[in-house]
Chains A and B, each alone.
Chain A
């Protein structure tokens, strides 16, 4: 009996191995890796970022590389928002023969996987990982978004000048490079003595004590650029406990999760982000009808067609990858890597070009505030640091 079972298991494994990769398309296929969280803390955000790539892929399913038309196939790997799963997820993409990788949402997983991409020489284009460590010291990592030192400064200036805050409460998640990094740069710009900085451990469900802490310490702005999952609960608690100060956050909060959580409450939320809905009406119309006609996409976007900036960034990232492939004239990752630094693209979120570290040359961010009556974003300002 035991032998039979083990034999059956071995057979199953063997078949699984053989069945991988039966291609039947007419055109040759070029694979683009999608290195995004589909589960865990950042799962919801990762799914929204992937939506942009999928929409772009549905609009432009082929690309001409070196005179041949290739079908573009998106290959997915879930990094589970977890730094220890990220290297293996990256390796799955590399082994499946991708030419270039897009992602990830969340900086930690990108930093964790950068070595794996580096060892294989496969280029990666970060979409919304804003921590400077992603590209610093890594030759294969590029990114199309702005960086935390910039975003942190914009937010600190906004808190000081527009909100008139003099003491800030900063809340990050322990071990999270995104929120930790952003808080760090915010504090640097805002002034260390005027900030209360706390970190909550993973698996926290009780955010009410942090709200109480902010109130007790007499802060007048609540800065918490954490994952949307935590954000929804922070907003709920801020409402029940009458927080009494504006909440400020970074690009992750530009999501309909936040809007749904904040609708009908009395909280004041401001975020900085990459894209303001309405900036490109044709694009908005196109992607919204695509989302509405595609039940899976609609579910992945949280059940409505409110656009998240990360979706638009995912859309742009896909085209940057196509530009790189065209310029490389081959599907070999090494060739793509070689041309990537000089690739430029006029995207929906603005012009995209890389500096010598591999970071995007971006000098402006949009500030939006949440309209709690309608559950939509109101445009506040375009912010730059100069």
Chain B
């Protein structure tokens, strides 16, 4: 296919993303939490966080073929870093109620003292980057020993690391930093994101998390389309051949692992921002599994798929299928069947069907631009 067609698809995708961001911004203003559609905002917030998490996992599992199950651990690191560095001074003692807080430094607060509202925004951005960097740094340290391991051993070793990180963050001796096993709160959170512009109060509670996710995912797309991305794919397809072609396996695996963890850290920070709490106990391996299932649902090896998969996953589990839990669904009333937990059963059955019968997920390996191109270059890629 020609270069121009490729570009055209990319442009359409770019405009679609911009339009989506505009729509989210508008929804943020139009919908109040007390409205019936208030759930839509929650789904967008959580969905975008999980989309970022899923895409970053896909970068590793789908594109590089490294089966890692340590995602929850890196998200935890990101969430904690972000939370610790954005708790305002005056609420710090209330948050660290059983400990004497060791870190008494809120980046957004410090910056806003000098630069006002812009400083707050910048501080939050810095905290987000820091969250990613801490996760990336630890990934580098962990990567040194474990990336040598083969597929399932790598999976179980990364899973183990995630569990070790979780235990460490719950250790009471680290309490002055991590608040022990207790939750962190009162940090810069999405529900408080508001700006006043020309006398109008604008809510950014949904827009900001969606924006963070969109920018991060765009960065990942750029990486995937760069020479690095092609190297990752060649490692996935055939390690030995890739090495023979002159690709430094250890280096590229490490780059993929560290990049993926960086964005997992950012996703964790955004999750904390959206949930307005951070607690180590919530970052269990079950969270990694859920993200993995979102990736599978969307199609391993498709970024668009991961995004759609996670949005569907979150929307279905948090919103659309809620009726299955509360006695009434599609107007059918059967409180004995539609009781607590039924939603998740239906949901896991759907996932098993996808895993067994639609192994390519929703998108296979196709991307958003491919959809617009589909008619002109029929089924060439679908067969691969």
Contact = CB atoms under 8 A, between A and B. Distances in A.
Interface of A: 2, 5-6, 12-13, 15-17, 19-22, 38-39, 76, 78, 82-84, 87-88, 91-92, 94-97, 108, 111-112, 115-116, 118-122, 132-133, 136-137, 174-177, 180-181, 184, 199, 201-202, 333
A84 B182 contact: no
Contact of A84 (B34, B38, B282): B282
Contacts, number: 128
B182 A201 contact: no
Q: How many of chain B's residues touch chain A, expressed as a range?
A: 35 or more
Given A83-B279, A175-B280, A184-B98, A120 B33 contact: yes
Given A38-B340, A76-B326, A91 B282 contact: no
Given A84-B275, A95-B39, A137-B91, A333 B34 contact: yes
Given A21-B36, A133-B94, A84 B189 contact: no
A290 to B, nearest CB: 18
Contacts of A13: 315-316, 320
A87 B94 contact: no
Interface in B317-350: 318, 320-323, 325-326, 328-331, 340-341
B191 A180 contact: no
Contacts of A12: 330
Q: Which of A108, A115, A177 has the most C-beta atoms of chain B within 10 angstroms of its own C-beta?
A: A115
B318 A108 contact: no
Contacts of B189: 115
B276 interface: yes
Nearest to A333: B34
A96 B340 contact: no
Interface pairs A-B: 8 shortest CB-CB: A175-B181, A95-B38, A120-B33, A119-B191, A84-B282, A174-B181, A115-B276, A175-B281
A36 to B, nearest CB: 11
Contacts of A132: 97
A3 B315 CA distance: 20
A91 B33 contact: yes
A interface SS class: helix
Contacts of A6: 362
Contacts of B32: 120
Nearest to A296: B335
B94 A83 contact: no
B277 A87 contact: yes
A291 B34 CA distance: 34
B279 A175 contact: yes
B325 to A, nearest CB: 7
B172 interface: yes
A111 B95 CA distance: 11
A133 B179 CA distance: 14
Given A84-B275, A84-B282, A184-B98, A95 B358 contact: no
Contacts of B94: 133, 136-137
A76 B331 CA distance: 18
A88 B318 contact: yes
Q: Which of B183, B191, B321, B330 has the most C-beta atoms of chain A within 10 angstroms of its own C-beta?
A: B183
A272 to B, nearest CB: 21
A16 B33 contact: no
Contacts of B320: 13, 16-17
B286 to A, nearest CB: 11
A31 to B, nearest CB: 11
Contacts of B216: none
A112 B279 CA distance: 10
B217 interface: no
B170 interface: yes
21 contacts: A6-B362, A19-B331, A84-B275, A84-B277, A84-B279, A92-B39, A95-B34, A95-B36, A95-B38, A112-B276, A115-B191, A115-B276, A115-B277, A116-B276, A118-B191, A137-B186, A175-B180, A175-B281, A177-B182, A180-B98, A180-B181
A120 B180 CA distance: 30
B183 A108 contact: yes
